[in-house]
Structure 1
Amino acid sequence: MGYPPPMPDGLYETDIFAWSRHQAALLRRLARGERVNDLDWDHVVQEIEDVGLSELNAVRSYLRVMLVHLLKLQGCPASPAASHWREEIISFQSDAQQRFAPSMRRSIDLAALYIRAVKQLAGALIDGVVGAQQPPICPVSLDDLLHADRDALEQSFAKPDRPSRHRPALIASITGLPPRHKSRLHPARRRADPAGSCQD
């Protein structure tokens, strides 16, 4: 069986693709119980950590763009671009769902993402006008963004000063149960996930 030649110095910096193939071959040999001496452990560990961080940052990005589009719809619901924003909300929600892992929850600061979304739109002109005043705090939770249907999310942003009116619709869209069951589900869910919380 032929083994790869020793790794050239600086390969990680000059050819990450060749470096990754070389390290993968060495790790396979190590898994078979062979002794190997050419593993670039520092960079291998760094790359493994970066894989998880890259997934986390992707989910954060999808959520932030969802918030931006929801704020645009809240400010300019009659915009000619509104249908495009709604399509992208659905698309980005699907992408966020696919890449989200439960262990990411504590690393997603929804309040900070919401502030970034608001700042992104600060003073921006949409169709030549400044949009309506944004809600002072995020009117939805992380679970809402990941699982509620688009209409329920949009409705919650449209009336941020009355979250209790729209929370049943959000819960129904997540659980699949009709709103008439909200009296049994709402208190329990509110204890686990406070209405309008941005701390998830």
Structure 2
Amino acid sequence: MSAVKATARPSEAGTAYEDDFYTWTQEQGARLRAGDFAGLDLDNLAEEIESLGRTEFNSLVSAWRVILLHMLKWEHQPELRTRSWAISIHAHRNNAADVLKDNPGLKSRLAEGLERAYRGARLEAANETGLPLKTFPTACPYTREEMLARPFPADPDDTTD
């Protein structure tokens, strides 16, 4: 449930958004299908739809954050490199590609997404490696293309995914 303006609805309009989100969603969906546009909770409905778009962007950023985290660990702890890091990079590349394929409108936000993902990955890398935060550059040291295509020894050879 997104943070939205609380607008209590009269009982004849159905369940109030802030009282029971699940029931509200079911009622709103039924009203849309029935063409009962006058009975819709437009402010909250619009916010929820916009929230779905933010969720897709956050999914992309999350996948990229994991990729960048493992790339930073790969660079800064070569003695601890594991096959699981490379496989995680590959899996999250696939996830990110799927999000972008399903949501081509996100292409206008790729630079912002990379910046957000790196900011999180940098902090996590410092935490997970025990290295000082200053070890990791403040700006992302990888291009988006490198993040998405740089080979890692444990990457599967299969390119059909």
1:104 paired residue number: 106
Counterpart amino acid of residue 73 in structure 2: K
How much does 1:136 deviate? 5.8
Whole-angstrom CA distance in 1 between matches of 2:31 and 2:143: 44
Q: Which runs of 5+ in 2 are unaligned?
A: 1-10, 156-161
The change in CA–CA distance for 1:21 and 1:135 in structure 2 (over 3 A counts) is same
> Where do residues 1-200 of structure 1 align in structure 2 (5 Å cutoff)?
6-10=12-16, 12-30=17-35, 35-79=36-80, 82-100=82-100, 101-108=103-110, 109=112, 110-122=114-126, 124=127, 126=129, 130=131, 133-135=135-137, 137-146=139-148, 148-151=149-152
How much does 1:13 deviate? 1.9
Q: Decide whether the 8 Å contact of 1:59 with 1:99 is kept in 2.
A: yes
User: Which TM-score applies when normalising by structure 1?
Assistant: 0.58
Counterpart amino acid of residue 85 in structure 1: W
Q: Decide whether the 8 Å contact of 1:63 with 1:96 is kept in 2.
A: yes
Counterpart amino acid of residue 118 in structure 1: R
Greater gyration radius: 1
Partner SS state of residue 47, structure 1: helix
The CA RMSD measured in Å over matched residues stands at: 3.0
Partner SS state of residue 14, structure 1: coil
Cα-to-partner distance string for 1:59-101 (whole Å, 9 max, x where unaligned):
011101110110001111221x622211111111111111123
Q: Decide whether the 8 Å contact of 1:7 with 1:22 is kept in 2.
A: no
Q: Decide whether the 8 Å contact of 1:90 with 1:150 is kept in 2.
A: no
User: Which TM-score applies when normalising by structure 2?
Assistant: 0.71
Q: Which runs of 5+ in 1 are unaligned?
A: 155-200
Cα-to-partner distance string for 1:141-164 (whole Å, 9 max, x where unaligned):
224434x15429x9xxxxxxxxxx
What is the number of equivalent residue pairs in this alignment? Answer: 140
